[in-house]
Amino acid sequence: MDSAREFDAIVIGGGPAGSAAGLYAARASLQVLVIEQGMPGGQIATTDIVDNYPGIPNITGAELGQKMLDHAESAGVEVAYAMVLAVDRSEDGIFTVKTDSETYAAPVLIMATGAVPRTAGFTGEDTFRGRGVSYCATCDGMFYRNKKVFVVGGGNSACEEGLYLAHIADEVVMVLRRDEFRAPQGRVDKLLACDNVSVKYSTSIDSVEGGHLISRIAFRDNVSGETYVEEYPEGSVGIFVFAGNDPVVDLVRPMVEIAQDGGVVTDETMATKTPGLYCAGDMRSKKLRQVVTAAADGAIAGSAAYAYVRELRG
């Protein structure tokens, strides 16, 4: 512990939730450290355009993420770019965060490590992420107004997002690797009642190609094993993958309660079952994972952190 640098609060994750948590905690006079392992912004850093953050339309995800973290720094937050290796909590309630470069300690730990979308695994998926391949209809659906979209998945989230896209896109094609949906029949019936929705059963996307945007999609028939190609004018189609999300919780799993969706259970102040430990953003169990809700979670967590430290100090 003697070699650890001490802070009032440590935030792990420099995305919208982490930046907002750091900002609010620092503005409340706490000494705050935000630890980020990559680019500021988390998942949004890989998004070409964010157009649904209130008041800031048409901004790149990388730019928005950087602005958020810069704002936190301007309020006095210290930022460390490092990989967190381990998190521990002593009997006296102090959290120790060990990174690949240094060790830190604080009575408050705010986790904002986000969630990662499960990929479909087709060739070109990573290459065209944010340029024709998306994992969030609410985030990116408006870019496909009057265009054709393919929705990969047959579960609840895929049906919900497919229904959402049916009101935006010209045509929605559900791509199911099996011969049936996994979602409840009532939800499926509602989706298929839309005139512009069709289904490719027992089908997987094998690969995508194009220039800056997708123009060629290769499908595989999972029954026969045969592949076939469909070509489109570049930029006229999109692929939405809904194979689920995996909240990133491993660092604090023993200290928290995990919900059915894999997210951390918190109360309305973002507090977990462990005193002094807060979780904010996409790693929480929640209904809507968006930039605006992540930032709101972070603001609440940062304010709660101040209240917690103030109570400790009497």
- pLDDT band at 2, cuts 50/70/90? low
- pLDDT band at 61, cuts 50/70/90? confident
Closest CA to 174 of 191, 156, 151, 157: 151
pLDDT at residue 269 greater than cutoff 70: yes
Residue with the larger pLDDT of the pair 118 and 216: 216
- The catalytic residue positions are 136, 139-140
Are 64 and 108 in contact, with CB atoms under 8 Å apart? no
- State the pLDDT at residue 193: 96
Q: Which amino acid is at 237?
A: V
Closest CA to 262 of 282, 243, 242, 288: 282
User: What does the pLDDT average to over 76-100?
Assistant: 96
- State the pLDDT at residue 1: 45
User: What does the pLDDT average to over 189-198?
Assistant: 96
- State the pLDDT at residue 262: 92
Q: What is the CATH number of domain 133-241?
A: 3.50.50.60
The least confident of 29-38, 44-53, 279-288, 298-307 is 44-53
Residue with the larger pLDDT of the pair 43 and 208: 208
Residue with the larger pLDDT of the pair 222 and 43: 222
Phi and psi at 279, nearest 5°, equal -125, 135
pLDDT at residue 3 greater than cutoff 90: no
- State the pLDDT at residue 58: 81
- State the pLDDT at residue 48: 66
Q: Is the dihedral of CA 136, 139, 145, 147 positive or negative?
A: negative
If you search the block for the tokens 């706490």, which residue do you land on?
Answer: 30
Q: What is the CATH number of domain 5-116+245-313?
A: 3.50.50.60
pLDDT tens digits for range 281-306? 999 999 888 899 999 999 999 999 99
User: What does the pLDDT average to over 217-232?
Assistant: 97
CA distance to 205, 206, 219, per residue, from 225 (Å): 12, 11, 10
Distance of CA 77 to the CA centre of its chain: 23
Q: Which amino acid is at 90?
A: S
For 291, counting Cβ atoms within 10 Å of its Cβ (0-12 exposed, 13-18 middle, 19+ buried), the class is buried
Whether 5-116+245-313 shares its CATH topology with 133-241 is answered: yes
Are 174 and 154 in contact, with CB atoms under 8 Å apart? yes
Q: How is the chain split into domains, by residue range?
A: 5-116+245-313, 133-241
User: What does the pLDDT average to over 151-177?
Assistant: 93
Q: What is the pTM of this model?
A: 0.75
